[in-house]
């Protein structure tokens, strides 16, 4: 699933580790999400959206045609 986590994170000026710490996952998990190798759970998606003060839809772009 495509996402804009990296854009939001870089706009906020924080590292993957700092973002991971904020949402209680490892740096590797943030990296995997940004590289679109791993789709986060609904719970983590909402945590990320809340952290960036945005919506899940703004962060994630599911390609429903797949």
Partner 1 sequence: MTSELSITDRKRYRNLMSQSIGVGVIGIFAATAAAVFAPSSIEDLFLIAGVGSYYLGVVGYLFIWQRTGVRLLDEREARIEQKTGQIVVSVLIAITIFALPADVLLDTTGIVDVPPAIRGVVWGYALLLLFSLLVYGYVADRMQ
Residues of this chain that bind partner 1 (CB under 8 A) = 20-21, 24-26, 28-29, 32, 38, 40-41, 43-44
- How far apart are the C-alpha atoms of 53 and 66, rounded to whole Å? 29
Return the closest-CA partner of residue 20 out of 9, 11, 7: 9
Choose between 4 and 31: whose C-beta lies nearer to partner 1: 31
State the minimum distance, in angstroms, from the CB of residue 27 to partner 1.
Answer: 9
State the minimum distance, in angstroms, from the CB of residue 43 to partner 1.
Answer: 7
């Amino acid at each position: 699933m495509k996402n804009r986590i990296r854009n939001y994170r870089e706009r906020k000026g924080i590292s993957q580790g700092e973002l991971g710490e904020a949402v209680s996952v490892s740096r590797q998990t943030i990296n995997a999400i940004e590289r679109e190798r791993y789709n986060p759970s609904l719970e983590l998606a909402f945590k990320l959206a809340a952290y960036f003060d945005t919506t899940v839809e703004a962060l994630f772009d599911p390609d429903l045609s797949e």
